[in-house]
Structure 1
Amino acid sequence: MARDLRRLPKTHLHLHFTGSMRPGTLVELADEAGMRIPETLRETVAAPDALRLPANERGWFRFQRMYDAARAVVRSEAAMRRLIHEAVEDDAAEGSRRLEIQVDPTSYAPHVGGITPALEIVMDAAREASAAAGVEVAVIVAASRTRHPLDARTLARLAVRHAGDGPGEVIGFGLSNDERRGATTDFGAAFQIASRAGLLLAPHGGELLGPDHISEVVAHLRPDRLGHGIRAAEDPALLERIVADGIALEICPASNVSLGVFAHAGQVPLRTLLAAGADIALGADDPLLFGSRLLDQYETARQVHGLSDAEIAELARGSIRASRASARSRATMLAEVDTWLRTPDPETHP
């Protein structure tokens, strides 16, 4: 027995739309569409923590093939709405008070009439799910490194048109996919469009590639949060600058292990980042493929890294500070974390 991590208030800031899908939903949507799920994908989602890939282009190619196969079953407005509602329900069950979910509407546009309807469906479903589950839900529009930088500018303008602070509205702009693809500088113009509108900037960087890549992302995209950023731990001077600049890190331990960045969870330098004073938001990234949701990341912090409940509470506070929740909402959540920590530990107070 120990303090219940499900009751720990936290926010979830790194979750991808397709990757949030439940394994059962994948199977049902494929059956409805008369589609065959590739055996490698079926085996991966059937066995938690089964995915172990090399941290090279071949490994990423295998990951991307499975991800694309999963995304292919999301072929209707109803399917898109289902994914949002289920993602929010799952977060609520794990103590998440706020979800900022990433979506690239380009992938779903052919099935619903364009990128604008695709984004508006996600936003509308997020509003509904927020009201139903009592979880604040916001949207981050994410461009892809695998497409032309002009596509990223189009998505940045779309994000700006739908920006807002209310439930289901767009609060940020990101950049995802293989860090080795595309030139970071080429995406700077898209991030400037988003920045001028006051959107949160949350590009990926520093998982598959190391400190040099992080330095490029920080210099040219000016992030508020860095998707992953785990390898900043390899360069103390860079990590110090990141902390000084107030750039939060979205750390996804299960992803790091599944994609071969580290051999096992114990190698993830979580304590190094905490010791440097970084604001860390643990995230599940793509639980469909990595077999590990948000709560599992906190369990790993406790069981593998040996974090005390006080240290775990600080992780939760970091996720809250890094979110785009209102000042009032952040204050409420931070107070709830303090209440959780004041609750006696069952191990010492039977």
Structure 2
Amino acid sequence: MSAHVKKAELHCHLEGAVPPALAQAQARKYGVDASGFLCDGAYVWRDFTSFLAAYDAVADLFRTEHDYALLTETYLEELAAAGAVYSELFVSPDHGEAVGLGADGYIAGIGRGIELAKARTGIECRMVVVGLRHRGPERVEWAARYAANCRNPLVTGFNMAGDERMGRLADYARAFDIARAAGLGITVHAGELCGASSVRDALDHIRPSRIGHGVRAIEDPNLVARLAGEGVVLEVCPGSNVALGVFPDFAAHPLRRLHAAGVKVTLNSDDPPFFQTSLQREYAIASEAMGFTEAELDGMTRTAIEAAFVDEATRTALLARL
């Protein structure tokens, strides 16, 4: 899938996008033994739980504003080279707090990287603040309040990630109400590790305009019809889904069936180097393994920009670039 096909990404975790070579360099910088999560230039994990542990270990290698600016600029320049005109990065102020940088310094560093990448390549990028589900409802509400009050024009959305198997979604609804009241776009992880019921819970309790993954909705035809009818956009990550064993292979992946049913779908890389993928590869998978035409792929890029958490002037300018 060549770079002439314009692309847009709505679902990528910044700390999950660290190229292994950059992680190795950061480990050397801070004197960290990376052998537990990095081997022969690739990340090492076995299941979702060990993936989260490896993810956190990599995140711990980024500790200053400069570190985060470097990471952000590196990833966005890679995306732009693959033909991407827009990116949304999932960012976690919890990580900034955990490494002693603080949420404000963390966001400032990422913002600097966004500005540098845009100056060099023209790529637009926004930040979606993520609350971590396994930290509990109070901590997710803290993240929502931070997103609502940080007054950073590049912070335009709110999300919840982490282990989908923990807690009831209804217990986190208040966090999303805080973010929504502040005018932030709303998306939430659901329907990845857990089945169709988690997607239904998201629609009922969170009322998002987008859902991260959402692919397990395919288990309930009525739910698929509801997603199509309500126009909720799915941020689909086929490479991640297969790597984590949500589906055994790309032939079994429901992207084609969801698209045929009229559900709005987009292509995303999630945590690309952890899953041996990239946004470029996701478009190639859709084309070569799932049979999507170039016109259909262009349609997914358009869907992503139409669903992006940006002001209307930016959206119009992005659509004009397709």
Name the structure 2 match of 1:141: 129
**2:88 aligned to which of 69, 86, 100:** 100
**1:161 aligned to which of 138, 149, 153:** 149
Aligned residues: 322
Name the structure 1 match of 2:30: 33
Name the structure 1 match of 2:242: 257
| CA distance in structure 1 between the aligned counterparts of 2:280 and 2:309, rounded to whole angstroms | 21
Q: Secondary structure at 1:157's aligned position in 2?
A: helix
Name the structure 2 match of 1:46: 42
Unaligned ranges ≥5, structure 1: 54-58, 338-350
**1:69 aligned to which of 36, 54, 57:** 57
Is contact 2:213–2:235 with CA below 8 Å preserved after alignment? Answer: yes
| CA deviation after TM superposition for structure 1 residue 183, in Å | 1.8
Is contact 1:204–1:227 with CA below 8 Å preserved after alignment? Answer: yes
| CA distance in structure 2 between the aligned counterparts of 1:163 and 1:265, rounded to whole angstroms | 41
| CA distance in structure 2 between the aligned counterparts of 1:119 and 1:300, rounded to whole angstroms | 33
Paired residue type of 2:223? L
Paired residue type of 1:231? R
Offset from partner CA, 1:50-89 (integer Å, 9 cap, x none):
87x5xxxxx2212112112211211222211111111110
Does residue 330 of structure 1 match 2:318? no
The percentage of aligned residue pairs carrying the same residue is 33
Q: Secondary structure at 1:298's aligned position in 2?
A: helix
| CA deviation after TM superposition for structure 1 residue 315, in Å | 1.7
| CA deviation after TM superposition for structure 1 residue 300, in Å | 0.2
- Equivalent residue runs for 1:1-350 within 5 Å: 5-43=2-40, 45-46=41-42, 53=46, 59-163=47-151, 166=153, 169-337=154-322
| CA distance in structure 2 between the aligned counterparts of 1:110 and 1:267, rounded to whole angstroms | 39
Larger radius of gyration: 1
| CA distance in structure 1 between the aligned counterparts of 2:59 and 2:321, rounded to whole angstroms | 36
| CA distance in structure 2 between the aligned counterparts of 1:326 and 1:31, rounded to whole angstroms | 41
| CA deviation after TM superposition for structure 1 residue 218, in Å | 1.3
Worse-matched range after superposition: 91-100 or 312-321? 312-321
Paired residue type of 2:111? M
| Change beyond 3 A, Cα 1:124–1:162 | farther
Q: Secondary structure at 1:108's aligned position in 2?
A: helix
| CA distance in structure 1 between the aligned counterparts of 2:314 and 2:95, rounded to whole angstroms | 32
| Change beyond 3 A, Cα 1:309–1:110 | closer
| CA distance in structure 2 between the aligned counterparts of 1:330 and 1:37, rounded to whole angstroms | 41
Paired residue type of 2:308? S
TM-score (norm 1): 0.87
Q: Secondary structure at 1:181's aligned position in 2?
A: coil
Worse-matched range after superposition: 299-308 or 236-245? 236-245
Is contact 1:149–1:186 with CA below 8 Å preserved after alignment? Answer: yes
Paired residue type of 1:86? T
Worse-matched range after superposition: 208-217 or 111-120? 111-120
C-alpha root-mean-square deviation of aligned residues, in Å? 1.9
Is contact 2:128–2:159 with CA below 8 Å preserved after alignment? Answer: yes
| CA deviation after TM superposition for structure 1 residue 39, in Å | 4.2
| CA distance in structure 1 between the aligned counterparts of 2:98 and 2:316, rounded to whole angstroms | 41
Paired residue type of 1:300? I
TM-score (norm 2): 0.94
Unaligned ranges ≥5, structure 2: none
Q: Secondary structure at 1:138's aligned position in 2?
A: strand
| CA distance in structure 1 between the aligned counterparts of 2:3 and 2:262, rounded to whole angstroms | 25
Offset from partner CA, 1:240-260 (integer Å, 9 cap, x none):
111222210000011101111
Is contact 1:10–1:95 with CA below 8 Å preserved after alignment? Answer: yes
Name the structure 2 match of 1:347: none
| CA deviation after TM superposition for structure 1 residue 291, in Å | 1.3
